Structure 1
C-alpha cells in the first residue's frame, strides 16, 4: 500500500511530512479521535505533543484534495508513544523568571493530593515561596523544591515581560516582608484560613496566594478563583490549557483529589 505521509517523533515533538505526489491542500491531525491541528498546503508540519499524558495514543493524519473530482480524503493511522517523565533525569530542565511550579505532593504524605505546593521562579537557580511556618516568605533554590516535590508541573508565561513583572513584585514583596520582621512586625503570617482577602498581601499568605499576588499586582494578570481560598489545585487548573502559559514539564502523577 502506498504511503502518503512520513511521521517522525522526536521526544514530545512530531514531524509530519507529505511524501506522495497527490495534490493535497488541507490536512487534519487527530489524536485519540479528536482534531488537534489543521494545516493548509505545505509539505512538512510540526506538532507539539508535550501536553499528552504518558502512554500509547492513536494518531491519524488526514489529507484532503480540495476541488478534486474524487473528494475522498486520504487517511493514515499510527501508534504514538508518549514517555512519562517520572525521573527528572529523563528530560533536560531549564527555568526562566516567571515560571510557576505547582506540585500535588507534600512532605506530609497524608495531605498529598489534597493541598500541594507552588512557587514562582525568579531566575535559573532560585524561586520565592511561602512554604509554611516561619519565615512566611523566603527565597530558596529551585533544586530543593524539586527534591521535596518531585510530583509537580512547570508552567511558563508566553510573555517574557509578564513573567519579569510578576517576579519584580515577588522580590519587592519579600524585601518588604523582611523589613517588617526587622521592625518587629510579623506581617504577613502564614495561614491557609479561607476567610481572608486574596488581594490583601499583609494579613495572611500561603504558597499559591503568593503566586496569585505576584501576577495580579505585578503583571495585572488575575487567575480565576472558584472558592474562598486560591489553592494550588486552583492554580494548576488555571494554568492547564491556558493560552497565556506553556507547559514546560508535567510529572505523570500530578493529580489533585478534590476541587478546592
Structure 2
C-alpha cells in the first residue's frame, strides 16, 4: 500500500447534519488510535469524497428524516452514494439519522415512530455471538429520535429498547448502525438541550430531568462507548495500527 493510500485509510470521514451533533467521545478515541478526522457538512459539502472513502466513514445524527428528500434534496445524493458504499462493503458507522439512512440505503422502510424516544434507558441486547454492544449491558444510553426503521434484509439485529425493536444492527462485518447515541459526551449535552429546546418542549420532555440524568449516566456510557468503538475498529478490514 502506498503512503498516500495508507494516510487515506488512517483518516475518518464524518458527515454532520447538525453542527453540535459531532463525533463526541468517539473523536478522542480516533485520535488516540492515530486516526485523523475530517468533517463534511451535509447539504453544504459534496459528500462524494466522504462516501467513496475506502476507510471508515461515520454518518452522524440530525433533526431531519431520511424520507424527506423532497424537502432536503441533498438526501437523494447521500442515499444513492451510500447504497454504492454499502454494496462495496466499505467500513461505515451510522448514528441515529445515520443509522436510518443506512437502513433506507439497504432497502428498508424508514418512517415516523409511534412516540418520541428521548432520554436515558437501557437496551435489550440481542443474544448473538460477539455482539459489539456487549459493553452496554446494564448501562443506560441516550435516546433522541422520533423516526424508526424496519430491519434491513440480511442485517443482524444487535439491540432493542422498550419502545422500538430495532435499535442497532450490523450488516456484514463492516457496517454498524446505532439508532441511539453512544457518542454523546456529558459535558456537551447542554448544547443539545439548547439546540433542540423547541423539539423538547413540543414533546413535553423535562429539560431539567434530562440534565440530571445526564449527570448520572453520561460517564458510565462514555466508558462503555470507548469499548464499543475499540471492538468495532478491530473488526474492520482496514489498518488501525
Does TM, scored on the shorter chain, surpass 0.5? no
Which structure has more relative contact order (CA 8 Å, sep 6+)? It is: 2
**Structure richer in helix, relative to its length:** 2
Higher normalized strand content (fraction of residues): 1
- Structure 2 length normalisation: TM-score? 0.28
